[in-house]
Amino acid sequence: MTTLAGLSRSLGDDLARVGSVEAADEPLSGVHVSELRDPRPYLAGGELLLTTGMNLTMHTAPLRAYATMLVGHGLRGLALGLGPVHTRVPPVLVRVCNEAGLPLYVVPEPTPFQLVARRYWELLAAAGRADLDLALGAQRDLVRAATDRNPVAAVVRVLASAMDGWAAHLDPDGSVVTVWPRASRSSASQVGAEVRRLRAAGPHTAATFPLGDLDVAVQPLSRSGRLRGFVATAERQPGTPRNRQLLVTATSLLALAVELRHTGVLRRRSEREAVAALLLAGRVTAAHELVTAMSLDVLPGAAHLVVTGPLGRDAADELLDDCERHHLQVWGHWRADRLRLLVPVGKLAQVMALPLGDRGLVATGELALTAAMGGAIATTLRGAERILASVGACTRVDLTASPEPVDRGRRDWLALQALGQPELEAAAAAYLRHRGSWERAATELNCHRNTLRHRIAAVQRRAGIDLDDPTSAAGLWLAQLELSASAGMQMRPLDGFALPRGDATGSRRRLPEDTSSSSPR
């Protein structure tokens, strides 16, 4: 930047200040020579005006009007050339320039005006070369930073240093991932609201807006039409062409770095997906062997099963991206428009809080990820998917916390199925269908009623299900209908859900309506 003060220092006595008004520290737009009493039609503002004073009347009133006019037009200063008209600077000119706030300089004889103009252009060219060298240097630093072991953080640091402000990398939700200087994190966090607005507008939308005394620019980081995050910069002065070019370069480098990192994430995710597929198929031993062979994170001892959908592959990847941004080490597997997640114990509430749009979700209780429980995992998955198919969009069924009788019934029936003993499921279903009638349930199952009693006791003991509680039985029956429908079992609805209590000998007393509403198969 070439200023009037800098030009004066460069010329020394050939352009010396004689007034008391100092030049403003602002760019000098040019050096213009004019003897007109009103040179404004030929001036754009920001110039140094050179004159010999040939047409100026050295009286206070006209000189004051002249100086005021120049200041009002935005001139940086006035320089009087001595020799042709004046041999020294008239005191009245000094006085009116001081009063008007116009810097006054003198060009002594025999210094030509051309020398002043030539020096101005030399300084301007030198400043341009310096800006170019600085810009090229910053560009080289950005490219070098992109090859760092942590390219995103390195590019952000170089960009912040070049901007004389701060720079930040934000994830698609507007959360700050990296910021430099680190003390600017609170300021960068305030950009989150604007980032969320940009995300709603589309992946290619940029914005600029004021933030306190800073000017903030936000650019999206997108590759192949998919939003990967944002880069935000804050400057104390409006963006210069050099800084705008640096921001464009940094945005391209960051988008590439984030995409490359995401490619590595997808590769690692595909490995974890293979492990999850084995677990959900009940092949727990093979899953543990694959984890060891690929040096993946150790599998948790127990996990919740979460099934959500319908959603495509890209939407599933975005949901898994959200899990990783929230540091949720889930094991996900996508197939047939369903995303199946094994969520570590203690992380279920955070997964349930993720934005799922119009998708349904079913979450089960804890499942032990052991070889002995392999069949239970696969069975629970089938049951959870049947529940998901029966609920509406935007419905979230948390079987671990829901107090609803049907949800409790779903949880209990999944627990019963997870035992892997079909005869216990059949016994419970017959017992519920015949509303506690041992004889009719045993007849349907073609077994002795003592055998049925033994099986019902096993159901209650091993699955923790109270078949004698009317509320529990009602929810369990509805869940059994729902979960058994897709398995091809033809279930006859009940006329009522009330179950009689047994006497001291363990025999059952039938309700009056039991005889008329049901008959043995």
CATH number at residue 159: 3.30.450.40
Q: What local confidence, expressed as pLDDT, does residue 224 receive?
A: 62
The tokens for 512 are 């009056």
Which range marks the domain in which residue 51 is found?
Answer: 4-123
What tens digit of pLDDT does each residue of 461-502 get?
877 777 877 777 777 787 777 766 544 444 444 434 333 333
Among 68, 91, 123, give the residue marking a domain's end: 123
Q: Are residues 448 and 386 in the same domain?
A: no
Q: Are residues 109 and 23 in the same domain?
A: yes
Q: pTM surpassing 0.95?
A: no
In a domain, 491, yes or no: yes
Q: What local confidence, expressed as pLDDT, does residue 493 receive?
A: 44
Q: Are residues 380 and 320 in the same domain?
A: yes
Q: What local confidence, expressed as pLDDT, does residue 371 receive?
A: 85
Q: What local confidence, expressed as pLDDT, does residue 521 receive?
A: 33
For the chain, which residues score pLDDT lower than 70? 128-138, 199-204, 223-225, 237-240, 260-265, 357, 483-521
What secondary structure letter does DSSP report for 27? B
Q: What local confidence, expressed as pLDDT, does residue 100 receive?
A: 92
Among 347, 376, 401, give the residue marking a domain's end: 401
Q: What local confidence, expressed as pLDDT, does residue 79 receive?
A: 92
- The residue type of 509 is R
Q: Are residues 104 and 153 in the same domain?
A: no
Sequential DSSP letters for 265-276: HHHHHHHHHHHH
* Distant-in-sequence, close-in-space partners of 13: CB < 8 Å, separation ≥ 6: 108
How far is CA 339 from each of CA 195, 288, 294, 335, 381, rounded to the nearest angstrom?
28, 21, 23, 7, 11
In a domain, 140, yes or no: no
In a domain, 135, yes or no: no
Task: Count CA within 13 A, CB hemisphere, residue 232.
Answer: 36
What tens digit of pLDDT does each residue of 238-274 get?
666 777 777 888 888 887 777 766 666 677 888 888 9
- The residue type of 453 is R
What tens digit of pLDDT does each residue of 267-295 get?
788 888 898 899 988 888 998 889 888 88
Provide the number of structural domains found in the chain.
Answer: 4
Q: Are residues 428 and 397 in the same domain?
A: no
Q: Are residues 254 and 321 in the same domain?
A: no
Q: Are residues 239 and 304 in the same domain?
A: no
Q: Are residues 418 and 397 in the same domain?
A: no
Q: What local confidence, expressed as pLDDT, does residue 131 receive?
A: 60
Q: Specify the CATH number for the domain of residue 442.
A: 1.10.10
In a domain, 136, yes or no: no
